[in-house]
Amino acid sequence: MSTRKECWRLIVTPPSPAAWNMACDEVLFQLVSSAPSPVIVRFYEWRPYAVSLGRSQWPENEIELDALRRDGYDCVRRITGGRAVFHAEELTYSVVCGRGHPLAAGGVHATYERTSEALARGLRLAGIRAELAHVTHHPSPGSARRSAPPCFGSVARSEIVVDGRKLVGSAQYRSTTAVLQHGSILTGAAHKRILEYLRVDEEVRQQYLRNLEIGTTCLRELGWRGTTDDLIHALADGFSGHFGIVWDADHSLAPHEMSLIDTKAHGRNCRETRNPGDMDGGNG
């Protein structure tokens, strides 16, 4: 007798502005929080490129906002913790599930590990020798700084690496009813441009650059020459194979979800004021 497989939602959205992307993750998190729902996995890109900050970071302390905006890029604060990320030449994933789902069991690190295992399986299907990091490594710039190091300046346990170099950076938020984890899968090297916008002195900037050069990698550097669709397909197969699930046939957002996202996205970009809130898990 065959066992019926659990059905999850796979959503693929077109490249979108930072405010819309973060509003989408938050709306899906709120919908899962408020009613029974299948696990949701979304893949997306950013247009224009943007900096996202962790939930507890102050934009005016971390980023040269005028320079960022002069170059035509956005700034947004995430619901998750962690540190600054420049979203460029990457595929971003998000996973949302209820706190009662097995994916959420065991706390922050257990969910990181399960999700990373699925992502790594998908990357291996794409020909990338991805594995999970076994230790946490936080290189120090060795001098005083005004800003926290960028997300990709360190590696946390169970993040995805290739030959010890970080390929995927993730962050997580947990409420009493739901869990959201999202992260950046680097396809190119443009993430290093975060250093153009961090509020740090030149000595620290150069040390951060050395850390990124040594400690990160990207799919292009690893010889991957596929398309975004190829990558999404491999990652989706990684999730379905790892968790033994099937995907819902409709990979789009519902009209009522779109309406909620559009409303929340309005005015969502960073302002130069603090937005205090509790942080529950952020490797990024």
pLDDT of residue 69: 95
pLDDT of residue 152: 75
From CA 160, how far away is CA 119, in angstroms rounded?
A: 8
pLDDT of residue 36: 92
From CA 8, how far away is CA 238, in angstroms rounded?
A: 13
* Annotated catalytic residue 7: no
Residue 251 makes CB contacts below 8 A (sequence gap 6+) with 10, 11, 12
Q: Which helix (H) or strand (E) holds 52?
A: strand 50-53
Residues of the chain with pLDDT under 50: 1, 138, 140-145, 272-280
Annotated catalytic residue, options 97, 151, 218, 270: 151
pLDDT of residue 3: 77
Q: How far does CA 207 lie from the centroid of its chain?
A: 24
**Within 10 A of 60 (CB to CB), how many other CB atoms are there?**
14
Q: State the pTM of this model.
A: 0.90
pLDDT of residue 145: 47
pLDDT of residue 273: 42
